[in-house]
Structure formats: C-alpha cells, structure tokens
Chain A
Amino acid sequence: MAEWWFMEPDAFHAFIRELGERFMLYAPARRDGIVTFTFVENHEDVELSKRPFTSPKAAFLPQTEVLLKFSLRGERVHLSPAQRPESPIAVVGIRPCEAGALKLLDPVFSSPPEDVHYTLRRENALLVGFACTSPERWCFCTSLGSSPFDEDGLDVLLVEVSGGYCALAVTERGRRALEVVRDMLRKADEALLGEIEERRRQAERAMKTLDVERFIARLEDMGDDPIWEEIAARCIGCGICTYLCPTCYCFDIQDEAGLTSGRRVRVWDSCMYPEYTLEASGHNPRPKRVHRVKNRIYHKFRWYVDLFGLVGCVGCGRCAEHCPVNVDIKEIISEVVRR
C-alpha cells in the first residue's frame, strides 16, 4: 500500500474539492494577508506554501465552544446541550509535527471521563499532511523523534515536487480518500521517488539536533536555577506561546449569562495568565512570571513525561517564532544542557 502517487496541481485541487464534498475542510488560508488555519468554504482558498501562524489544534479543540445553552421560561429553567460535533473534518496541510501534537492531546481527552466533543471530531477526521521541505529556523522536530516527512499519525502525506505533489496513502482511510481522484493520479516513477528522497534528506539536514533527553534529565535539579528568572524577566506574560502551541490544551469553562438566558462555554486558557491559578481566596500559588514560565517548560518536559510517558512538545517552534520578546525554547534547551 505504501505507494507514492503523483498529482498535478489540477489533480490536487480536484482532490481537495472532492474532500470538501464529504468533509468540513480545515486548512491554511490567507485572510487579509495572513495565513491561518481555518475552516474553508472554497477549496481554492487553501494555501500550502506558508506555514500558518496558528496550529490546527482548534479544529478539534475550538478556542470557544458552546457546551450548553440555558434560559428561564416562567418558573422553569430550560437547558439545551450543545449539538454533537457536526460533519467529519478533513485537515489539509497539517504538518507532521502537528499530527504528532494531536497524538499528545489524545490521551488527555480520551482518558476518563472521555471528552466526546474532542474524541468524536478526532475519530472521524482525515489528516492530509504536508511534508516540510524547508523547515523554519525555529523548528526542531528531529530532536523529538519526528521528522519533516514523518507520516506517523497522518492518513495521507503530500510532498511538493517539481510539477505538482506526490501523495502517500498512509492509512486505509487515506487510501480511500485518494481513490476518489484515482484516474487523475499516476504512480510515481523512479525519478520522482528519488526527488522525494532528496528533499527529505535536505530537510532533515537543515535541522540541528538538540539533546532533549539530557535537557529533561537536567530539569530534575534545575528548579531553582537563575535561568528561569533571566527568562521571566523579559516575559510579558501574554498567551501567544500557549495559544499558538499545538500541544497546549488548557481550557476554562465559564457561564455567559444575560438576565433570562445564557450559555456555558469552554474557552482556551493559558498558564501564562495570572488568573489561571488565582484562587477564590485571593491567593495565587504562581504569583510571578517566573513561576509561570517555569511551569510551562516543566509541564511539557517533565510532568507530561511522568503522566503519559511522552514529551509534551513536538518542536514546531511557534512559541519562539512569535514571542514578542524572543523567549526561544531551542535556546533554553541548549542553555540548560550546556550549564
């Protein structure tokens, strides 16, 4: 089954159009000049050339999700639970690291009590991955057991080649998806296979490897190291790193109510906000930025490991790329390993 198929741009568009018939398409698209992951109505809006600033986690864990609506009718309170997730979602253009990130979210939401909002979306989804032929300078997926062409967790892997794309059906679901445009595909010949291999090698070579294992081990006795104060001193405590992170999953549940009706919503939360740990008494166990910065790193690289045996970071580097004060996770890893 592990066969590569060549598709010309026309076939690629036909493929996405067909997917759009059966799935809700979630893909990178340009909105007012900025590329973001979003639900797209028109398959022509899909733009794979630039990695979106957002991660695709919102397809499965929306930033805002209505769980329940309530209203007062006379003496009675009327409750209407949220609709179960809609049609299945096809995520097109998801990067290998981001598919890896979903596998990190799975244990969180499928552990009892199962979160059906997440798991239903996830079970029915089709993931059409897009290999990273030119990784960003912030990327370090190869240090975390993945790679720019990693097919693990995907249903289909697309690689950009001269004249179009090559597609690999990774799963049976992926094979069936490609089947629809079967007559527009041709088997990749030796030359194309060689090109894919060459691009894979180039992408992997472009990435420096960090010693994450040593980093994790060093964290054990670095809780009081001055490095955290140094980093926190410049942190502005915004939510960029956590909101753009494909593996951060914290949320809050709030009631938004008027006089006679309202709704209960789940919204993303961020451990970088002081309110995140603020207790009703007024006490805050993580009162300063240094506590919050340290928590973010330790959650991903220690506590997630303890809980699930997995590292809670996939090396996409978005947190560093978009940090307005240049808190750079790659630099932190190298620095801690060096100390």
Chain B
Amino acid sequence: MIDEGRMREVARDLLASGEVDCVIGYARGSVWYRARPVAISDPDKVDMLIFNPFCMQNLATWLKFEMKENGGLQGKYGVVAKGCTARALIQMMQENGISTDDVYTIGVPCPGMVDPRKLGDDVLAMEDARVTLAGERVVVEGERRKVFSRDDVLHETCLLCRYPTPPLYDVLIGEGIEGRPAEDKNLAHLESLPAEERAKYWEDAFSRCIRCYACRNACPLCYCDGCALECLDPQWVYRSVEVSENTLYHLIRAYHLTGRCVECGSCEFSCPADVPLMELNRKMARDVERMFNYVPGMDPKAKPLLGAYDPRDPEGFIL
C-alpha cells in the first residue's frame, strides 16, 4: 500500500507553500469499509488524508462541483489521483474543461479497490477492521481475521484495470505499478449472446434503475454545463421511471461517454440498484479502441476522439 505519511507531507507542503489552494483527497469514513472524499485547505488538517482499499470514488469529480457551483475553479487544486483519476483529469484537459494549470496531480499507484459487498454480510458486521492488499490476497483483520483472494473481492473494473499508475502526474507517491488486467469474461459472454437475450439482460438491468442520477453525478466526465437530462424544452427524457425512459437515460450517458470514459467505475460503485453500468461503458470503450485505435485520458495534448479525424477511420456505417 502507499505511504500515507509521504502523501500527507506532500499535501502539507503544497498547501503551506501556497502552490495549491486546496487538496482533494480521501478521509476515513464513518465505518471501516467506507472512505470519503475530503477537501482540505488548512495545512494542519492533512493528517485526515488516507489511502486504503475503499477509496473508490474518482476525485476528479469534485472539480466539477466547484466549477458548477462557483462558476469556475477557484484557484489551484491538488488532487490525490489514482490511475483512473489522473486519466479523468487528462481527459478534462483535452476537452478544455480544465487547464493543466488548474491542478497539481498527487499521483498514487493504485493496487485496486475492494468492493465491500463482496466481503459478505458476516465480515461487514465486524465493528472495526483493517484491510490490506498483499499481492494476490486481501486481508481483513478485525475481531476475526479473514483472507480473500484479490480476484474475489476487488471491484470488477479494478481487476480489469490497465493503468493503475497515473499516465501523468506532478508527484508520484511511491513506485509505479504495472497493469495486469484480467480477461473481460463478462463482456465476452454478453457479446456472445443473441440480440434478444442481450436486450432482455439490459431491460432487466434498466428496469431496476431508480433514476437517482448517482451514476451521472459520481462521473468525473459528466461535467457538462446544462445536462441534456435536465432540459425541459425539449424534454429528451421523461421523468417517468420505466424501462423505456430508463433505457434512454443510460444510452444517452453511454453515448456521451464513448471515447471519454476512463473506466474508473464510480458510476457502478455509486449505483444502489446494481445496474452493471461498466459493462455498457466497457463495450463502447473496446469498440472505440478496436475501430479507432483510441484510448481516452492518456495525453492532455491529444485530440478528443470526436474532434479527431484520421483517413484510416472505418466508415462502414456511412451509406
């Protein structure tokens, strides 16, 4: 795991020197299997910062709240960034959503995050516990000690992660780690199904959606000023919570994130209804990669997919 002391030291120096106005990081949650985002501007408070296997949210998201509520960023932000967080920041830079001068990336190589739901109710019932990732194992130490295989308890998106280390950073806490993505069996299985079965799968998934918009709000790249979903004239998506409107909602998001999604999994993590949103996002990402040889969030100077043209782009869909 990463050196929290070093991370705090970096944060303290950045704040004390005035290099940044605010550091966005993670703090302990109210229970041992939750961590929470925190914004710190007082150098004396950096000891709140932690980095444990429950730091799932993508902190780039908090920049959008600053932008939306304050009409733009207020100064410079230090952001504790896992691979996916840094990629979201890079993607925002590509799109001119933020500038490279707006953020100081405190890179943290990420060994993957644990999905508390996969630990089981008996483990979650422990009053307090400490969780560590050690190679292939995840060790939970509380009133009892329990050892899991990494493959069994990490978020799926983390098991599939190819970029655990930020592609770009101002400082990196510790040594970078190589991605070693697992095979995407779920996606392969879905793709192998006949269309009717796939349709049924998504119909079931979307009918569970309660339209709380947690997926959109937790997404670092859903930062549009004036979301299509809030438009009342024309009202693209009705507020009725039923499978047709829910499907429209999720397809609009999937299309708007195509070539932009950095696969952090914050949407799926935030969903209370277990909608497998990342399967949709991964499908789009793999298609984009295959067709356009494009991976988003890797280079702030690259052109966004929809803004780029290459004569070799496939055009089989053009009549």
Contact = CB atoms under 8 A, between A and B. Distances in A.
B8 interface: no
Given A236-B214, A265-B238, 11 more contacts: A36-B208, A137-B124, A237-B217, A238-B214, A239-B210, A239-B212, A243-B212, A256-B235, A268-B241, A322-B272, A326-B31
A251 B242 CA distance: 16
B29 A326 contact: yes
A31 interface: yes
Contacts of A287: 69
A328 B30 contact: yes
A289 B214 contact: no
A330 interface: yes
Interface string A240-274: 10011000000010101000000001011010011
Interface string B206-220: 001011111011100
A325 B212 contact: no
B76 interface: no
B218 A233 contact: no
Given A234-B37, A322-B272, A325-B37, A31 B208 contact: yes
B35 interface: yes
A326 B36 contact: yes
Interface string A310-326: 00000000001010111
Contact of B269 (A256, A324, A328, A330): A324
Contact of B241 (A31, A63, A236): A63
B119 interface: no
A288 B71 CA distance: 11
A277 interface: no
Contacts of A275: 230
A43 to B, nearest CB: 21
A130 B211 CA distance: 28
Nearest to B27: A234
A273 B30 CA distance: 24
19 contacts: A137-B124, A233-B37, A233-B38, A236-B217, A238-B213, A240-B214, A254-B239, A273-B213, A275-B230, A288-B69, A324-B266, A326-B29, A326-B30, A326-B34, A326-B36, A328-B29, A328-B30, A328-B31, A331-B30
Contacts of B212: 238-240, 243, 270
Contacts of B213: 238-239, 273
A236 B69 contact: no
Interface of B: 29-31, 34-39, 57, 61-62, 65, 69, 124-125, 204-205, 208, 210-214, 216-218, 230, 235, 238-242, 266, 269-270, 272-274
Contacts of A236: 61, 65, 214, 217-218, 270
A267 B65 CA distance: 26
Interface string A45-65: 000000001100000000110
Nearest to B210: A243
Nearest to A278: B230
Nearest to B126: A137
Nearest to B229: A275
A137 B142 CA distance: 16
Most B Cβ at <10 Å: residue of A36, A268, A288, A325: A325
B142 to A, nearest CB: 13
B241 A324 contact: no
Contacts, number: 105
B197 to A, nearest CB: 14
Contact of B242 (A64, A239, A268, A320): A64
A243 B271 CA distance: 12
Contact of B218 (A137, A238, A331): A238
B303 to A, nearest CB: 29
Contacts of B274: 32-34
Most B Cβ at <10 Å: residue of A31, A238, A324: A324
A54 B210 contact: yes
Nearest to B276: A32
A33 B275 CA distance: 11
A237 B238 CA distance: 20
Nearest to A50: B121
Given A64-B241, A326-B36, A34 B269 contact: no
Given A238-B270, A254-B238, A325 B57 contact: yes
Contacts of A239: 210-214
Contacts of B69: 287-289
B35 A326 contact: yes
A289 B65 contact: yes
Contact of B36 (A234, A237, A288): A234
B38 A53 contact: no
A53 B272 contact: yes
A328 to B, nearest CB: 4
B204 A32 contact: yes
A36 B218 CA distance: 23
B211 A256 contact: no
Contacts of B272: 53, 240, 244, 322
Interface in A212-233: 233
Nearest to A275: B230
B48 to A, nearest CB: 11
A320 B34 CA distance: 11
A172 to B, nearest CB: 36
Nearest to A33: B274
B240 A267 contact: yes
Nearest to B212: A239
A325 B36 contact: yes
Contacts of B218: 236, 238, 324
Contacts of A32: 204-205, 208, 274
Most A Cβ at <10 Å: residue of B57, B217, B270, B274: B217
